[in-house]
Amino acid sequence: MASQYVATGHARLHVALIDMNGSLGRVDGSVGVVLDEPVVKVTASPAERLSSDKRLSRFASKFMETYGRVYADLRLPDTYPAHVGMGWTTQASLAVATVLAQVKGVRADVFQLAEAMGRGGASGIGVYAFAGAGSFIVDAGHKLGSQKRGFLPSDRSDAPVPPLVFAANLPPQWRFLVCIPKHSRKVYGAQEARFFKSNCPVPASDVERLSRVVLFKLIPSVIERDCDSFGDAVQMIQGLGFKKKEVEYQGKTVFELMAAGTRAGASGAGMSSFGPTVYFVAKSERKVKRVCDEVSDMCLTTHISKPYLGGKGLGNRLS
């Protein structure tokens, strides 16, 4: 019986791109949370030809540009929506690369596969999430000039995966309510690239304020396991820098949903990446269910998730 290879990627919440000003010679720099669910699960079995779920075919083609032709039956037994701000493209592409590498006998780590698949060119959160760095991740962005030529999303950038600054696991009792609001829009591809071009650079003062919030409030709240401080930091970030521009682009629907959830008792609320996904953090299952009850009528979908705690941990990968 032919072997079947399986790879799973976990959804991530992208809290912020830190420095979209670039005057110190670096851009990007990301903060993110990795969720236990939902997931992308990809399977591959050796075959006489390549057959693929149509949602995965472009990733198989990209893999073969570097590693050569591979014959496999490529399937997608579990997934979540693409282009909603939860990192589907990176998780799906790395899962495909992982199982095809196993079929072909390629020995490559996650970071080599990410380079081949063109991921990590803006944010490194998805790559480190797939590698199992932890459920809370901060990366250091890219050098302008030598690594990256400007303000670009991952799919328009050939920059390497950025260095890891901090990674830790969030407290297991914390819960995240993940919502896709009604009357929202998806932002990706050419539209996303235009947004980067027209909204960068952001004011240096916003980057300075955001950096202070991340370093002196968000990261300490993870270390000290303080959910209220974590949520407060997330709330502050929504009004700063590039994240402020992202939230404003989604408009009234997202603002009203975040406000409703915090009134219902969430420790904090944010929008993941370009949205439309909105998330709430709460101290417990009981509290997050109360929030869910209050906001569900404003949403197309809701999902309660734990932080992902199954990663092996990477320490500081600085090169």
* In the chain, where the domains are located: 5-168, 175-305
pLDDT of the residue at 185: 84
Name the one residue in this structure whose structure tokens are 């914390």.
174
CA pair distance 76, 285, nearest whole angstrom: 30
| Domain 5-168 belongs in CATH node 3.30.230.10 | yes
Q: What average pLDDT does the segment 155-168 reach?
A: 92
Mean pLDDT of the chain: 94
CA pair distance 119, 222, nearest whole angstrom: 27
Record: fold of 175-305: Alpha-Beta Plaits (3.30.70)
Span 36-70, pLDDT tens digits = 999 999 999 999 999 999 999 999 999 999 999 99
Residues 6+ apart with CB under 8 A from 306: 35, 36, 37, 172, 174, 175, 176
The answer to whether residues 31 and 126 touch, using CB atoms and an 8 Å cutoff, is no
Q: What average pLDDT does the segment 269-297 reach?
A: 97
Residue 312: pLDDT band by 50, 70, 90 thresholds? low
pLDDT of the residue at 156: 85
* pLDDT higher than 80, residue 2: no
pLDDT of the residue at 153: 83
The answer to whether residues 101 and 62 touch, using CB atoms and an 8 Å cutoff, is no
Q: What average pLDDT does the segment 173-202 reach?
A: 92
- Amino acid at site 250: Q
Q: What's the token pair of residue 141?
A: 């962005």
User: What percent of the chain stands above pLDDT 70?
Assistant: 97
* pLDDT higher than 90, residue 311: no
Span 74-87, pLDDT tens digits = 999 999 999 999 99
Q: What average pLDDT does the segment 230-255 reach?
A: 96
Span 103-131, pLDDT tens digits = 999 999 999 999 999 999 999 999 999 99
pTM score above 0.85: yes
- Other C-beta atoms within 10 Å of 245: how many? 18
Nearest to 142 by CA among 119, 124, 155: 124
* Low-confidence winner among 184-193, 249-258, 261-270 (lowest mean pLDDT): 184-193
* pLDDT higher than 90, residue 189: no
DSSP string, 166-205: EEEPPPTT-EEEEEEETT-----THHHHHHHHHH-SPPHH
Angle (nearest 5°) at CA 78 between 86 and 160: 45
Q: What average pLDDT does the segment 271-291 reach?
A: 97
